[in-house]
Structure 1
Amino acid sequence: MKKIVFLVFTGCLFSLSACDNGFEELNKDPNAVTADRFNPAYLFTTGQYNTAKGDETTSLNYAEPFVQHMATLSNVGIFDFQGDKYVYHKGNNEAMWKGTYNAISGSSKLIEDVITLSKDKPQYYNLYHMARIWKTVIYHRLTDMYGDLPYFEANQGYYQQIYKPKYDAQKDIYAHMLAELEDATAKLDASKPLYTSADIVYAGNIAKWKRFGYSMMLRLGMRLSKVDPAAAESWVKKAFAGGVFTTIDDNLFIKGTDKAGTQEVLTNGQSWTISVSGRSPGKIAKTFFDYMKSHNDPRLKYTVAVYTDPTNVATKNTDPAVQKGMPNGLDRITLPKDPSYNPTAPGQEHQYSGVNRDVFGKLDGPRMLLTYAEVQLLLAEAAVRGWVSGDAAQYYRNGVTGAMKMLQQYDVSATIPDADITAYLTANPFAGVADKEKAFEQINSEYWVATFLNGYESYANVRRSGYPKLIPVNYPDNETGGTYPRRLRYPDDEPVLNAANYNAAVARQGADNYKTRVWWDKQ
């Protein structure tokens, strides 16, 4: 037997092509998962979910207090809204970046895998184009928070052995995202496989996906209004012609799957810290509260704020008359000196209004990513600019109505009666197009309210539009010297792990600090 084996092996040395027939198939594990056998739709589901559930920490702790939706007395700790005082916290500053690029669970890695594995495969036709659209959701938020970053070479360690990806200029990233939206949205085809179970947003509804794609194009197009108005107008017109969201039923959101332990903890064990019973909870910021109260906004009563008696957390009062917002930039030492503070009230932060956890704190509640309200308000601004047809006042009314109506998607208890919405619009009519700046201020202030708890989008639009005009805080040892923050810092290990590309980005964009503006935010 040994002699036979030797002879066969010797023969193979002289005729490899003749002797390896069948060997390769014999050595394949029939149960192994390979690229040609794996369904990338599974990755798509997780990629969608992780987009909303994987990077909330940075939004809550920086973006939300940056736009003065939220305030806190604390400046230390993991979940303490460091953006309230523009102070640096390594974990929360880096959470979005690290979560997005995570080699295993990162949303960008998962979606990049879907794109690679589905490209040029007829059975995955729509999945491929859906993934291209979803990629813009991931990256536009990331680049809006940090500026230039790895994009074209990102997540290519396995496919192209690129372990130190170059940072791409935000201008180039935006150009590619818009081009991808245009091409991928147009190519979606309802006659091809729909992947209804894999798509946890629209269940493969191609009509909704097309409206989503063009609504994203509208958002990204409007983002260029300050840096490149001509390009902004062109993309806004394309989006408008393609067809954007038409009702709140088109809203893009991800819902959680776990109803247990609601109101306190998110997936990954991350706390919202908007609990009114914690030691250092986030509270409704005075800027936000006062704006809504001065406009007699019904959202304040029905959904947003609640005062909880610190001696009995089960006792709640949603009457704005007995509530107040917490000023930004204060701590436990400086708060008692503020005029808003009542020294006879029990507790310190507990005399201020917190978020209504029964509406916004549910584990199985939605995380809004893009809404009909935002789309209509952007169209109102575009109409004022003369970029789209239609009545700016009607777009404005649609936007405000949509923002109020969508709250019922969080919880039925947040349903605002039609009469209250009508009364609000009557008391706060559209400013008109004659005074464009006044119109822009009104539209974008409503956008700010409509994006409550969607910190990434609210922060981006405040920087783009300049409204509402927020008064910066100047807490000791803050990162900006008391000026309004324009971005976050890159992770601390980037100058070490990807030094050459990091240095090139900093040389091109500007100093790696909170004061440097991203490309579309240039003065």
Structure 2
Amino acid sequence: MAKSIYKLLILLIAGTLAWSGCTKNFEQINTDPTAAPIIAPSILLTRGLLFTSGGEYEAWRANLIYCGPMVQHTSSLSLTYVGDKYLYNDDYSGAAFNSFYPNATKILATLMNQTANDAAQKNYNAIAKIARVIVLQRLTDLYGDVPYSQADKAYPDLIFLPQYDRQDAIYTGLATELEQAAAAIDVNSNVAGDISGYGGTASQWKKLAYSVMLRIGMRLSRKTDPTAAKQWVQKAIAGGVFTANEDAFYIQHAPGDYDNPNSHVIGTYPNSRAETGKANQGIKLSRFFVNMLKTKADPRLRIISELPKADSTPGGDDTPANQKGLPNGYDNSSDPVYGIGSTGDANIAHYSQPKQIIAQPNSPNIFITFSEVQLMKAEAAARGWIAGDPVSFFISGVKSGIWQWGLYSSSIVYNDATATAYATAQSLAVASGSLAAKLEAINTQYYITTFLNEYEAYANWRRSGYPVLTPVNYKNNETNGQIPRRLRYPRSDYDVNRTNIEAANAVQGPDVFMTPVWWDKP
């Protein structure tokens, strides 16, 4: 018995010594000396802005396959472009959701958490908050009720299955976050790692916060909450929105490292998706859009549009009178109803496409411009929400919408006399028309100025109803020939977060294209 106790005591002592040996310098031994426990805010900001701009995956699927054709900026015969024909593809419909949440919002939330209690880093915290609001507004505008209050809470809060917040609560939260961020920014302290056109200038980010707040306020104008809309619009104007062309917010891209995500699809430069040139026939300018610009004698048509060369490669005629838009809702078959041959011209090379000068790897990815801000101010003034002459705001906004294309290339030269004459001619309805006529003129120009930012073009079209589009009725479409009012949630989220997604559907309505988001309710 004593011998057994002795053996047990030896084992216990040996175990204690072994444990103390294993735990000595435990943290030092088990910490990777090459890893940084805290990543520099400038690095997180750079990465967060890259993900805010996005990659080819979501830009192609959400921006170019769905939003662009649905608002008839673009058109395609390819069945890949399901937005042209109101067809459903889960991977395409859910792409923005599946990409922005695990990338942009996650990294920006990490930056916010890391700098939350550091007064020296408050500008990083505010900038991350503004950028994240931009992404989250894009997501809620596309899908409606989405994760917000519990989004990006896996660390440190261990919330892996976030609830879907109602869009009205999301919008209130986004506007409040912008107000907080603008108030926190120290305009005398710039930041590093900013790859936007602002280059780290804090005062520009403050203007951006109020300009996005203006956009949020205007989104609420559609019968949803006009009182709140007016209040947020007035607060944004009082805070200080964009005041010049150069205030436009865009992410600057670099060839080879991180190409412009839209350009990687529609560009024909080396290593782009359509680098052969002839492979660029998939996406065209729509007949509706081209005809609108031709009818108005809009100087932007020559800037953004060209016909292919005789061998179907880009770089052909850019004469405005010769441009020809592709009608929406057709395919490349010989079908007598849905085939392109039924329109009288089956040769895809006869139709206009985006000009290559605006589809380069280093093209800026534009999110909100002075043009948009001035046009929103024109509408707010027309509604009597703010002081000022809506005609002056309108003319300024239209001219800026022409100027902004110079951001793509120094070879795109802005002609102020031409722009002024065009904007003045377009302002007649704003000067003397009914409120409906004013809103149509203003939002038609907003539609033109947001070309390539199809997320915003689609959102504002649903809000305003302008321009008036004629839907297509392609065979077996999902909407009975009506333009979709939202995108559908990704099926993958049903697999992992079914309880919360079904709770959202119970409140918002069925997860189908024709269920409007909260601010779009009739």
TM-score of the superposition, structure 1-length normalised?
0.89
Partner secondary structure for residue 367 of structure 2: strand
The answer to whether the Cα contact below 8 Å between 1:274 and 1:282 also exists between their aligned partners in 2 is: no
Partner AA of 2:264 in structure 1: V
Task: Give me the whole-angstrom Cα distance separating, in 2, the residues matched to 1:392 and 1:500.
Answer: 47
Q: What SS does structure 2 have at the residue aligned with 1:481?
A: coil
**Residues 251-274 of structure 1, C-alpha deviations (whole Å, 9 max, x = no match):** 11112111699996369x996769
Structure-2 separation of matches of 1:85 and 1:9: 71
In structure 1, the residue matched to 2:33 is 31
Match of 1:73 among 72, 77, 81: 77
- After superposition, give the CA deviation of every residue in 1:159-212 in whole Å (9 maximum; x if it has no partner): 1211111111111111100000011111101345x3233454422212111110
Q: Any idea what the Cα deviations from partners look like across 1:491-513, whole Å, max 9, x if unmatched?
A: 01222211110110000000101
Q: Is the 8 A contact 2:186 2:202 kept in 1?
A: yes
3-state secondary structure, aligned to 1:368: strand
**Over residues 423-471 of structure 1, what are the superposed CA-to-partner deviations in whole Å (9 max), with x where a residue is unaligned?**
2124323312651100000000000000001000000000000100111
Counterpart of 1:122 in structure 2: which amino acid?
A: A
* Residue deviations 1:5-32 (CA, integer Å, cap 9, x gap): 997996999xx9xx99985665564825
Q: Does structure 2 conserve the Cα–Cα contact (< 8 Å) formed by 1:284 and 1:353?
A: yes
Residue 257 of structure 1: which of 249, 254, 258 is its match? 254
Residue of structure 1 in register with 2:6 after alignment: none
Give structure 1 stretches of 5+ with no counterpart.
none
**Residue segments in structure 2 that go unaligned for 5+ positions in a row:** 1-8
What RMSD, in angstroms, separates the aligned Cα atoms of the two structures? Answer: 2.9
Query: How far, CA to CA, are the matches of 1:65 and 1:271 in structure 2?
Result: 21
- Structure 2: distance between partners of 1:252 and 1:84: 28
Query: 2:318 is matched by which residue type in structure 1?
Result: T
The aligned counterpart of 1:190 is 187
- Structure 2 counterpart SS, 1:123: helix
- Shift in alpha-carbon separation, 1:410–1:191, aligned structure 2, 3 A: closer
Q: For the residues of structure 1 that align with 2:186 and 2:314, how far apart are their CA atoms?
A: 51
Judging changes above 3 Å, is the alpha-carbon distance between structure 1 residues 211 and 425 closer, same or farther for their aligned structure 2 residues?
same
Per-residue CA shift, 1:59-118, capped at 9, x if unaligned? 01100011100001111xxxx32111011122221211111122xxx1111111111111
Report what 2:59 is aligned to: 56
Q: Name the SS for the 2:242 alignment partner.
A: coil
In structure 2, relative to structure 1, the CA distance for the partners of 1:29 and 1:66 (3 Å cut) is same
SS in 1 for 2:466: coil
Corresponding residue number in structure 1 for 2:402: 404
Amino acid in the other structure paired with 2:494: P
Give the counterpart letter for 2:418 in structure 1: D
Counterpart of 1:31, as a letter, is: P
Question: Do the aligned partners of 2:370 and 2:397 also contact (CA within 8 Å) in 1?
Answer: yes
SS at 1:478 equivalent: coil
CA distance in 1, matches of 2:510, 2:271: 31
The letter for the 1-side match of 2:87 is V
Identity among equivalent pairs (%): 35
2:478·2:513 contact (CA, 8 Å) conserved in 1? yes
Q: Which deviations, in whole Å up to 9, do the C-alpha atoms of 1:464-495 show, x marking residues without a partner? A: 00100111111011111111210011101222
User: Where do 1:231-242 residues align within 5 Å?
Assistant: 231-242=228-239
SS of residue in 2 equivalent to 1:157: coil
Q: 1:73-472 residue pairs with structure 2 within 5 A?
A: 73-75=77-79, 80-102=80-102, 106-192=103-189, 194-198=190-194, 200-226=196-222, 227-258=224-255, 265=264, 277-278=278-279, 280-301=281-302, 303-311=303-311, 313=313, 316-332=316-332, 333=334, 334-339=338-343, 341-342=344-345, 348-358=347-357, 360-431=358-429, 432=431, 434-472=433-471
Q: In 2, distance between residues paired with 1:59 and 1:39?
A: 31
| Kept in 1: contact 2:331–2:340 (CA 8 A) | no
How many residues are aligned here?
A: 500
CA contact (8 A) 1:307 1:323 kept: yes
Counterpart Cα distance in 1 of 2:254 and 2:439:
38
**Structure 1 518/355 Cα, relative in aligned 2: closer, same or farther at 3 Å?**
same
SS in 1 for 2:513: coil
Q: Distance in 1 between matches of 2:27 and 2:99?
A: 39
